[in-house]
Amino acid sequence: QGCTQKYIVKNYFYYYLFKFSAALGEEIFYITFLPFTYWNIDHSVSRRMIIVWSIVMYIGQVSKDILKWPRPLSPPVVKLEMRTNAEYGMPSTHAMAATAISFSFFIATMNQYKYPFQLGLAAAFVFSTLVCLSRLYTGMHTVLDVIGGALISAALLVLLYPAWDTIDHLLLTSPFCPLFSIVVPLVLCYNYPKLDYYSPTRGDTTTILGAAAGATVGFWLNNQYAASAHTGMSVQPRLPLTTSTMVFVLARFFTGILVVLLTRWLMKSAVLGVLGYRYKFPMGDLQARRRLEVEVPYKFVTYSCVGFTATVLVPLLHQLLGLM
């Protein structure tokens, strides 16, 4: 199951297009696009996207391990990815994440920014479609997995949309928000469905919930002690797209990403070191890192710090550097 398959690429355009599209449903995209939205576009849009993304992804990951539908058989399918091959197939969480992020971004911005409705709808549709098709091209999902994931995500968006302003308000203003944001995700991670063999779904779910928890605590702190974040208007000034504006946007992004990646590296090393000392295993022991008592705190603490850094420390650094 872990061996690499041999294949010949006959159409490099489709190969690189769908390999790139597949990356739009993975950590590399989450850790860049979601913070970019917060730093450069709109705080309220970013908050709503993170709320929807974390709920949709948790339901998708748990559904996989409850349904236990296998991935496509290989052969005849050629699989171009191996990391997630140990996971079950239905629903496709790539399809769920792409649908949730693209359409929540479209819905949250269509009343705040002036752009053609048809253009925004088409962009969301193209984005989610490319990610969905990439899962078929890479051999990781069946058509039913992809359609099921997109439909589940769309249904959750319909259910969440009437309440997301209320949820956002509570997360910003409730005195119980920090406790709720940490305890509930931790309980969900420790009570994740048990499998007969190891799958990265629990670790990935912990990563997502940890990042959302840290970001939510950051939102609350910013609203309580910095500037009020509960507004339907853009937090960032709506400046024309001049060269100087683009320089500030790129400076905020690259400075922030550098700090976020440094935080992730430092916290991974520190938390694994502490857990290794506590449970007596070397940091390179992959099997030990897969144990529940190690994997959940290791990933949750690391990525909650990443979420907190992105929403609190990076904006403070931007202010100190005069990038706001």
Q: Are 95 and 131 in contact (CB under 8 A)?
A: yes
pLDDT at residue number 83: 65
Distance (Å, rounded) from C-alpha 130 to C-alpha 137? 10
Catalytic pick among 94, 169, 230, 318: 94
Active site residue 169: no
Active site residue 141: yes
State the first-to-last Cα distance of the chain, in angstroms, to the nearest integer. Answer: 49
Cis previous bond, 91, omega within 30: yes
Tokens found for residue 92: 């496709």
Distance (Å, rounded) from C-alpha 204 to C-alpha 193? 13
Catalytic pick among 43, 141, 169, 230: 141
Concatenate the DSSP letters of all residues of 284-315 into one string.
Answer: T-HHHHTSHHHHHHHHHHHHHHHHHIIIIIHH
Q: Are 126 and 21 in contact (CB under 8 A)?
A: no
- Torsion angles phi and psi, residue 49, rounded to 5: -65, -40
Helices (H), the chain: 12-23, 27-40, 43-67, 93-109, 117-137, 143-160, 164-173, 177-190, 201-225, 243-279, 286-289, 292-308, 314-320
Distance (Å, rounded) from C-alpha 61 to C-alpha 44? 26
pTM across the whole model: 0.83
Q: Are 37 and 49 in contact (CB under 8 A)?
A: yes
Reduced to 3 states (helix: H, G, I; strand: E, B; else coil), residue 56 is helix
Q: Note down pLDDT in tens along the chain; length 324 residues.
A: 444 567 777 778 888 888 888 888 787 888 888 888 888 888 888 888 999 999 999 999 898 888 888 887 766 777 777 666 667 778 888 889 889 998 999 988 887 778 788 888 999 999 999 888 888 888 888 888 899 999 999 999 999 888 888 888 888 888 998 999 999 999 999 998 887 777 788 888 999 999 999 999 999 998 887 654 434 334 444 445 567 778 888 888 999 999 999 999 999 999 988 888 888 888 777 888 888 888 889 999 999 999 999 999 999 898 888 877
